[in-house]
């Protein structure tokens, strides 16, 4: 009886939360309470005072239709913090929605961090969480969180490959029951596909549209296999020639051509990681295949494209948008896993590397991790 009362008192005064602070969306899970927040990672601010006007879906609804005294911004870029002040404001608002700012309450949060994040970026993420109201902050590798969300490391000691295509980055991770074997990041993901559609409409169809319209086109028509999907959509925008309102019909074949470059880059990056993997790991991947997660994995026929080009089994996760937060929820509910998979210590220069957009497979030795680390070292020395 006393134990039950203590747990209830502890739950009232202590909020233990997992936070997936993504480029496109932010999700918050509360220990013993489930998923509390699932909102777009976007804020609206007063242009003159800097005060927070709206956050999440309310701010997204203003995008492209902002009042003259309001600006709409994305605080996150490529999986890391683009604006520390805005990120702290946004996270603070989401924590408040999760009920984490009561009198006398302490907030402990577990935050996912991309494998490609530098030590400077990790420190910035921790600082933002403290400014948002967290009393204690722990970091966990998103690659491991994805694997835990899929329950892959618990099945056996073999290696599994996970390709997590988010909004700003694509994570190519190989994991086992003992932890991360390979963690690579690519700065090409769902946002680049949206940008490609915007550019295609501007260049080829002479039409200027808003980002939300391009997102709708991507969701309805995008395919990783040209000439496979039939479909069309009427799109309204402004003519680049006359500036007048104009409506054009866009086909699925056009959208497939528009996003071919980012799709090809992702496929080549996955192939490069497989070819750089140790022999036993590569054998496991050929046996168990690849699991796709993240919002970018929802592009139709992407699993078939990878299956055809890599000659490997490829499946999409059942809940691709929630895999990261589900894995972090497991860490919250099981403290022994949390201690095992925390990523609070500084990462050595050789531990992870960032893949370039033109990553391609080699037949010889793998690229030096020190060489691959060079852009991140320069970025860190500039102050992140």
DSSP character string of 72-85: EE-SEETTEES-HH
The tokens of 97 are what? 């929605």
Domain ranges of the chain: 2-142, 190-258
| DSSP H stretches of helix in 182-290 | 190-204, 211-221, 252-258, 260-276, 279-288
CA angle 260, 263, 269 (to 5 degrees): 135
pLDDT at 139 over 60: yes
Among 342, 321, 333, smallest CA distance to 22 is for 321
pLDDT tens, 354-376?
Answer: 555 555 544 333 333 333 443 44
Residue 164 and residue 378: Cα distance in Å, rounded?
Answer: 26
Q: According to the model, what pLDDT value does residue 156 have?
A: 66
Percentage of the chain modeled with pLDDT above 70: 82
pLDDT tens, 280-337?
Answer: 999 999 999 999 999 999 999 999 999 999 999 999 999 999 999 999 998 888 877 7
Question: Could you tell me which residue, 291 or 119, shows the higher pLDDT?
Answer: 291
Average pLDDT over residues 114-133: 88
Instruction: Return phi, psi of residue 282, to 5°.
Output: -60, -40
Q: Given 3.30.420.40, 3.40.50.970, 3.90.640.10, 3.30.230.10, which CATH number is that of 190-258?
A: 3.90.640.10
Average pLDDT over residues 134-145: 90
Residue 218 and residue 231: Cα distance in Å, rounded?
Answer: 12
pLDDT bracket for residue 339 (50, 70, 90): low
Instruction: Return phi, psi of residue 211, to 5°.
Output: -65, -35
Q: According to the model, what pLDDT value does residue 333 have?
A: 86
Average pLDDT over residues 249-271: 95
Among 80, 77, 179, smallest CA distance to 120 is for 80
Sign for the CA dihedral angle at 279, 281, 282, 283 comes to positive
pLDDT bracket for residue 6 (50, 70, 90): very low
pLDDT bracket for residue 230 (50, 70, 90): confident
Q: Given 3.30.420.40, 2.60.420.10, 3.30.365.10, 3.50.50.60, which CATH number is that of 2-142?
A: 3.30.420.40
Sign for the CA dihedral angle at 174, 179, 181, 187 comes to positive
DSSP 3-state of 155: coil
pLDDT bracket for residue 134 (50, 70, 90): very high
Q: Which pTM value belongs to this model? A: 0.81
């Amino acid at each position: 009886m006393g134990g039950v009362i203590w747990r209830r008192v502890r739950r009232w005064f202590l909020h233990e939360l997992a936070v997936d602070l993504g480029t496109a969306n932010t999700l918050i899970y509360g220990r013993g309470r489930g998923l509390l927040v699932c909102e777009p990672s976007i804020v609206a601010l007063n242009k003159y005072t800097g005060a927070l006007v709206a956050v999440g879906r309310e701010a997204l609804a203003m995008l492209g239709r902002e009042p003259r005294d309001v600006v709409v911004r994305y605080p996150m870029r490529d999986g890391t913090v683009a604006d520390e002040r805005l990120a702290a404001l946004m996270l603070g608002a989401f924590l408040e929605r999760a009920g984490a700012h009561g009198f006398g309450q302490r907030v402990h949060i577990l935050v996912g961090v991309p494998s490609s994040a530098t030590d400077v970026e990790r420190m910035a993420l921790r600082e933002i969480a403290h400014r948002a109201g967290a009393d204690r902050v722990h970091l966990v590798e998103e690659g491991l969180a994805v694997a835990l969300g899929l329950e892959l490391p618990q099945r056996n000691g073999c290696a599994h490959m996970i390709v997590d295509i988010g909004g700003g980055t694509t994570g190519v991770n190989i994991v086992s029951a003992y932890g991360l074997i390979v963690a690579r990041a690519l700065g090409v993901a769902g946002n680049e596909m949206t940008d490609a559609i915007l550019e295609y409409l501007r260049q080829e169809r002479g039409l200027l549209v808003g980002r939300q319209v391009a997102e709708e086109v991507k969701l309805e028509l995008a395919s990783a296999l040209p000439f496979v999907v039939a479909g069309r959509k009427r799109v309204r925008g402004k003519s680049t020639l006359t500036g007048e309102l104009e409506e054009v019909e866009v086909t699925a074949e056009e959208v497939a051509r528009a996003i071919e470059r980012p799709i090809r880059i992702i496929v080549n990056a996955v192939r490069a990681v497989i070819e750089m993997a140790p022999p036993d790991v590569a054998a496991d991947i050929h046996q168990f295949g690849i699991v796709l997660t993240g919002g970018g994995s929802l592009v139709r026929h992407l699993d078939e494209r990878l299956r055809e080009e890599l000659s490997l089994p490829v499946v999409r996760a059942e809940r691709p948008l929630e895999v990261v937060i589900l894995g972090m929820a497991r860490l919250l509910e099981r403290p022994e896993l949390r201690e095992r998979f925390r990523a609070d210590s500084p990462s050595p220069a050789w531990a992870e590397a960032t893949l370039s957009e033109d990553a391609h497979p080699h037949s010889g030795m793998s690229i030096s991790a020190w060489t691959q680390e060079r852009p991140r070292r320069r970025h860190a020395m500039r102050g992140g």
